[in-house]
Structure 1
């Protein structure tokens, strides 16, 4: 009879998120994951199957924690338009306070793995769809509150905001001056006027 798992699944995934987010998929070795999680190699493989399968779980965990935290900002204000502004302000603060070197695990994974791995592409797509849906819901709320004109194509605006977010995180990896980032956000948010 196999021994039951004796580790905190969420803790292991959180540690693996940190490694993959910092180093990327290709540069992360199984030994890096063993060192970060404290699991033996056999336990890691027994629990997740392979490095690639662990990575897919990591993308799910990232979406459940990091993406959700950002999306919660969009629902935390009575004014949806203000919530969108606060969302981008939080991203700028994240970049300024050291989050810029890692960028966004979703974006990084899209660039590094999506063309060669359909499972990664699917997970990245799900996260981007969640972000777009969060913007879309906030925009619907803003339009209902007459904060936005009725003639705006809200789906297109949500897609634009999602793309701008990803671009902001990529730029933040190499240029994290507050004014430059705030300039990008200011122009991005003109779409709300």
Structure 2
């Protein structure tokens, strides 16, 4: 008869994610993960395959957790620029709250030479989904005449995504909130022109 799992899957992912955020993929050893998750090596390998498998599971869990928190904002009906504005403001509220300890996706890309292509592909997949949500709002705004018809919503969604990443980095670097809020106003003014 197979033994039942004696650990909480979510607790394991949370503990491992914390290690990857603190030390980066390369900086975390299997022994660090075993200690942090309280799994033995056998259980870790059986559940996740290897360190990379655990890391990929952490990325997926991280994205699902973050999207539960704010992903719905972009998909609210009616779709449009209000959703994008609310989304950006929610993200800066979160960033300034001090609740988060970094972005696992940005941390992963920052050390891209240390991770395999499968990991980077997973990050790109999640980023593609984020940009698709921006595009849905932009397409709806263009259909209503809130942005000019000639605007390319694919390019604009990439632009918004780049602005989002830049703002997260600026906040992490100590940029004051008023500056970031003025940036959001400028970003949306650019989209409307």
Q: TM-score range by the shorter chain?
A: 0.7 to 0.9
Q: CA RMSD in A?
A: 2.3
1:12 aligns with 2:12: yes
Aligned mates of 1:112, 1:130 — CA distance in 2? 22
Query: How far has the Cα of 1:28 moved from its partner?
Result: 2.4
Q: Partner residue of 1:105?
A: 104
Q: Partner residue of 2:180?
A: 181
Name the CA shift for 1:23/1:176 in 2 (closer, same or farther; >3 Å).
farther
Aligned mates of 2:119, 2:176 — CA distance in 1? 31
Query: How far has the Cα of 1:68 moved from its partner?
Result: 5.1
Does the CA contact (< 8 Å) of 1:85 and 1:189 recur in 2? Answer: yes
What is the aligned length?
A: 192
Aligned mates of 1:129, 1:100 — CA distance in 2? 22
Unaligned runs of at least 5 residues, structure 1:
none
Aligned mates of 1:25, 1:116 — CA distance in 2? 7
Give the match's secondary structure for 1:26.
helix
Aligned mates of 1:101, 1:54 — CA distance in 2? 19
Query: How far has the Cα of 1:100 moved from its partner?
Result: 6.4
Query: How far has the Cα of 1:34 moved from its partner?
Result: 2.7
For residues 10-58 of structure 1, what are the alpha-carbon distances to aligned partners after superposition, in whole Å with 9 as ceiling and x for unaligned? Answer: 3322332233233321222334323332222332222112212110111
Aligned mates of 1:90, 1:131 — CA distance in 2? 15
For residues 115-172 of structure 1, what are the alpha-carbon distances to aligned partners after superposition, in whole Å with 9 as ceiling and x for unaligned? Answer: 7510111011101101110100111122223322222110100011111111111222
Q: Partner residue of 2:60?
A: 60
Does the CA contact (< 8 Å) of 1:133 and 1:158 recur in 2? Answer: yes
Query: How far has the Cα of 1:114 moved from its partner?
Result: 5.8
Query: How far has the Cα of 1:67 moved from its partner?
Result: 3.7
Unaligned runs of at least 5 residues, structure 2:
none
Does the CA contact (< 8 Å) of 1:73 and 1:83 recur in 2? Answer: yes
Name the CA shift for 1:39/1:95 in 2 (closer, same or farther; >3 Å).
same
Q: Which moved more, 1:139-148 or 1:153-162?
A: 139-148
Aligned mates of 1:101, 1:62 — CA distance in 2? 12
TM (normalized to structure 2)?
A: 0.86
Q: Which moved more, 1:66-75 or 1:50-59?
A: 66-75
Name the CA shift for 1:22/1:29 in 2 (closer, same or farther; >3 Å).
same
Name the CA shift for 1:140/1:119 in 2 (closer, same or farther; >3 Å).
same
1:78 aligns with 2:84: no
Q: Partner residue of 1:93?
A: 93
Give the match's secondary structure for 2:76.
coil
